[in-house]
Amino acid sequence: MATIETTSKKIEQLILSVREATNRTRTVFLFVNLSALVILIALFNTTWSWQRHINFKERPYTSYVKQVGLDSGKNESDNELRKHYADIYFERQYFTIPLLGIRISESDLTIFSPTAFLIFTTWFFFALRRENHLVSNVKTDFDKLTKKIKGDMDGTTENKDDWKILIHNLYAGCVQNFVLTTPTNNDYKKAGDRFGKNMIARPILSFLNWLPVLILLLLLYDDISEYCNKNYMKIHGSELIILDSILFLMTLLIIYQISLITILNRNTRNILKQMADEMKTGEYNYEL
């Protein structure tokens, strides 16, 4: 029969493992979001930035100079300014990846972006998988302790208060390591009473999980828009079709990965919720 001392040591080790797993998951999730943000900024600067259109269109006061016949010096100044903006725009075609210091071209995003996302989402899946398995182990021990407290195991309820402390430590030590996964939607407490939940945070979190897919779809849309350019397609058409086919297939793989990630995350939350419901009963009267 397990003693309080041996069970306590097991719980400490289990909580430590959960802490390491949740830290690992958050780190990978951060890398996924940072890479998505870098690619989104690069894509915006080269495709949708308002400065792109200013650079290659006649500035408003240039037409005014021509109409009123003022000194052409202003027109030359305008051309120099437009050239300066154009240089900035073409400089934005290349960007440096933070931490790595690698400088790549915007046109290479079609192949590098899905590759990076596929690597990161694979890491994310296995990090969440380990986290889910650990939480399942916590739930198994949690159930054993609740049965012991209720006297369903070993036919005894001796040291009931000590066992209740252990189950409290197991639950609190596990749940407190989670930041982005919570067993309840009640986000605000006041004097111990629930009075509301954040209606924005969780949809944003769900959106961040799927942000890589959105970025890849934007890349695909940006490439497909070039199909209307006959001169461009005559020169680079075959290469563009091959790259876009690879991009499309890798996007499908990433959608599959993120779907599994979503299922794992939902399953982990359900396990935490089951423990939370048990802890809110009259036997423990505890909510976290």
Q: How far apart are CA 91 and CA 26, in angstroms?
A: 34
Distance of CA 4 to the CA centre of its chain: 40
User: Which pTM was predicted?
Assistant: 0.77
Written as tens digits, the pLDDT of the chain (288 aa) is 567 778 888 888 888 999 999 999 999 999 999 889 888 888 887 777 665 555 455 444 444 344 444 444 445 556 666 666 666 666 666 666 666 667 777 777 888 889 989 999 999 999 999 999 999 998 888 888 887 777 655 555 566 777 778 888 888 888 888 878 777 766 666 545 555 666 788 888 889 999 999 999 998 888 787 777 777 677 777 887 888 889 999 999 999 999 999 999 999 989 988 888 887 775 665 555
Picking from 1, 269, 15, the residue whose alpha carbon sits closest to that of residue 167 is: 15
Distance of CA 53 to the CA centre of its chain: 32
Query: Using an 8 Å Cβ cutoff, are 180 and 26 in contact?
Result: yes
Distance of CA 287 to the CA centre of its chain: 28
Q: Where are the domains of the chain?
A: 4-46+106-279, 50-91
